Structure 1
């Protein structure tokens, strides 16, 4: 396996006490889509900034395609905040980005036309980008990030704020870049569905550390059962009642009225769970069974929850 990125014991501290990332080690294979998954404050954005040279590590080793030096012509970057100039047209934004990378005039014009077609922006190419929808601006951001055909693309929270239809379209474009151009992609996200849909491999981050790593299926299989989610006013008492028979979790980041029971064959166990609670006269507001997903796996490793995709 050829590595696009290798990190060994990378650390970053802000001030005297806040450890943003701690002894971070990971390897990203060439041609993979790799996701750093975790909530805000887990260290994803700091890792992103260090890898894109926007911040420096305090210690540790970083290699890109086997070299300790990064060739900025080989990387593209799409930050969480849009880099689109709202006072310029879509075409002008792409032309300016291409000139920054030193693309020859004729080749740049051809590349701009190609990207406008690929990202379905032809009709809006000569409109001011301030009139673009959120999805159109994000597609333009992505097009600007790859105008110079990078080998390695960094995406920081690429679909935050997009509606489900725009998000799905952007996912498809990212996967197309991987399959057509063999591009390596590192993305940060707090959406578990996004990581599950896109990534070949995933690393769970929590408090500046990687707490688990593997393929999406490997991560979900580690949960070891279904999850029964219970909402009730006496969650603490309910947890004590159920703990004798089941593995019970109360997430740190959810409200005090929610608890999770992890068990094999959750649908079959559900009546017994209800009976145990009824026997102790514990009223239940809602109860449901779900198959393992990446959110359940993250909860297993960290006691924290991840955000589900919003639906409209």
Structure 2
């Protein structure tokens, strides 16, 4: 269902802290024009953790409305409360999303049976396709390979995974457990080349916010089997992949957006803050290396 370069969109906020809808619509248009294959509103990079539910799904609705079916919309909708997750996926469907990106329960730290039952309840309540989001560095909870396979075989509406474990060998292990048709997307820009070579189909990307055309070209080269071109693009983008995490995300990527799209809103919502001077310098150098300055 998903493949290619899929930006985890930043959410622009005005000086007062409110959702800057026009800037967001402009961002969606630019991403589509530059070749992004799908869009993820209200993920981690979109500061979803700071949004009340009504605003969260207003952003999703705005994304779907602006995309108008030209690309798929994969809406962040997870929760550590199964009942809330069910409400969220229903709201995502109502807002026009094509699928929901859903983390396993965080903070609670359920066992693997609890993770399975969490998604079982969600699937029973809503037929919107689900992409699992495994990011133990943020959730603490890890969806085990065996659980991924069990979910994939039990529930056809669980169509894939965004894997941000950083464990590249899991791509092969998850192919064996879940089947070759189960869509695996990298959650780490810097590992996307190896991830694709091992059977991945794309990347839910932070860097694509800033460099959508380069990221789309990189993914196209991978799919064409032109790994020489893909490696050259990886070398061009790698400093940017690194620089965008030299301070707490999404601070560096929002700073980068102001550099490549002058006038883009600078506001972050507390507890996120503007990146340090050292981080900004690293971003500027990486943008220059990529030919984006």
Whether the TM-score (by the shorter chain) exceeds 0.5 is no
TM-score (norm 2): 0.40
Return the TM-score normalized by structure 1. 0.38
The structure that has the greater radius of gyration is 1
